[in-house]
Structure 1
């Protein structure tokens, strides 16, 4: 019997806990008694813990009582994952991980692992809205920004919220074979493997800064005229700079090249049109500045892992 424990703290995200635990619990229906998962909830405070949505959950034990190891020790995410609030958890985690076979996190639980010194030297991920913060906070880790989940040796981390279900299905497939995991996915009405990664949910375009500069003026002009043709020379001319100087200044201010910004903005414009209108793909491509459906399809597949048609079916 494999043991799986989930660490909870005040203001945790309920679905971060419930999604993976439901996968393991459902898998038990297809497994022999000796192969089933034994599930435990470990709390950072005695008694009932309140999730971020207000639901109260009773943990099986307090961290002071959890002295053994586990086959898989997971840390949930949520608003309360700012772990500086709970030094005892950071003190407890390294020893608990050392006694366990595998460990990991759901969503922003990666920050708790990071503050406990458990991410350095590993490839990891978290919710798309927090990946840049994870990069800055823990430079010793390699953050995969577009992955639904990442397994690196004995560490497995997932993107946000429902990505914990993907993580748990991957664990079940590894432990008991793909057939069991497929049966669980069908019963829960989820897919075994999603098309594309987290990029399909997150905006690709860097936000335009609030302070007006030559670069922000160019950004706003580009966003207002995406159906027009732009190159470095034209954008640099709008900023009254040489092309070389403009490229350096733009990259410094925006953290991406001018052409990467243009391409991302066009993809985001097309995504918005696909989500909110029934316009033909040819019209979407024209209004977004791609020039052709073929070019738009290529970039969608490259950046999002979906074709425009698949994106519309999934998000509209």
Structure 2
């Protein structure tokens, strides 16, 4: 393989594209890297990036999930240059079931041949299936984190960070998190001042406040719960303002506290106390988004007792305060 642009100190970045790719998974990182090129050029530097769209199939022309066509310069079958960084863009989970096994073989054999490899959104599923994430801490879109963890129990899935670096693998969260990752890679390569300049140009925070889970639901969708867990959720949903004990839940199910706690953990993946805590958090988030109630009133209606307890829980799970959450997510009339 030849290294394109080697004489100019150019780092070759490959964005691996699959059918039905989310357009921002590709466009976001592309703009991050090419914006860095612009500022480097202004300083007279001969360093920078060359970004390639490479198809993970035998076809160079693919359609994004929005219907916009993407024309890739190469496929995994005809690449003729060395790679510095390879990022797998996300697509739908159903598409992943139809991918030719050649892709996973290609990625596995690229291990050690690239300086770093990573993913955007559900691109983490591709790296996992290729056997590249075993034993690593990773992230993905918050909505699919549980599926990734159950499908690949050898991984440590953490949905809080917008991206995770577990050298030499980088995984980022949902969709726009690919831009957070690109900024981090620019900072790693060329320093914080350049990354900050790129962030300002793209009207982004260099490092976003909060965590990815602030965008998701505190609990799994109701339809995905087991019948046992649904019974408890139905029992508690109108009683969150009241003091609720595990003894109360166990008695409702005609079980001992010990047996109830064991079964609930098995059915839901969390303790009854944690489940109740997240129900209260979910209700507080909804009230912050859709009502004008004061934070003190919301804390009382959700059973927190005080706004201090509510704030503590928000910082624990979302790394932002209730007031910050309301500013970020409350719609304007």
1:3–1:70 CA contact under 8 A, matched in 2: yes
- TM-superposition CA deviations, 1:275-298 (whole Å, max 9, x none): 011111111111111111110011
Residue 83 of structure 1 contacts residue 111 of structure 1 at CA under 8 Å; is this kept in 2? no
C-alpha separation in 2, matches of 1:183 and 1:303:
31
Question: Counterparts of 1:80-95 in structure 2 under 5 Å?
Answer: 82=96, 84-95=98-109
Cα RMSD between the aligned structures? 1.8
**Separation (CA, whole Å) in 2 of partners of 1:38 and 1:81:** 28
Aligned length: 316
Select the residue among 57, 66, 87 that pairs with 1:74: 87
Native 8 Å contact 2:226 2:267 kept in 1: no
Mapped to 1, the partners of 2:51 and 2:165 lie a distance apart of 21
Change (3 A) 1:234 1:276: same
Cα displacement string for residues 9-64 of structure 1 (whole angstroms, at most 9, x for unaligned residues): 21111110000111001111111442111111111233311011100010011211
Please say which of residues 67-76 and 298-307 is displaced more in the overlay: 67-76
Equivalent pair of 1:196/1:304 in contact (CA under 8 Å): yes
In structure 2, the partner of 1:269 is: 283
Q: How does 1:281-300 map to 2 (within 5 A)?
A: 281-300=295-314
TM-score, normalization by structure 1:
0.95
What residue in structure 2 maps to residue 11 of structure 1? 20
- In the alignment, which residue of structure 1 is the partner of 2:4? none
1:110 aligns with 2:124: yes
Once the two structures are superposed, the pairs formed by residues 136-285 of structure 1 within 5 Å of their partners are: 136-208=150-222, 215-285=229-299
In 2, are the aligned partners of 1:119 and 1:138 still within 8 Å (CA)?
no
Following superposition, the deviation at residue 207 of structure 1 comes to: 4.1
Query: Any unmatched runs of 5+ in structure 1?
Result: none
Q: Does 1:305 align with 2:314?
A: no
- Structure 2 length as normaliser, TM-score? 0.90
Q: Give the secondary-structure state (helix, strand or coil) at the position aligned to 1:57.
A: strand
Unaligned 5+ segments in structure 2 are 1-9
Partner of residue 40, structure 1: 52
Report the alpha carbon displacement of residue 65 of structure 1 after superposing the two structures with TM: 1.2
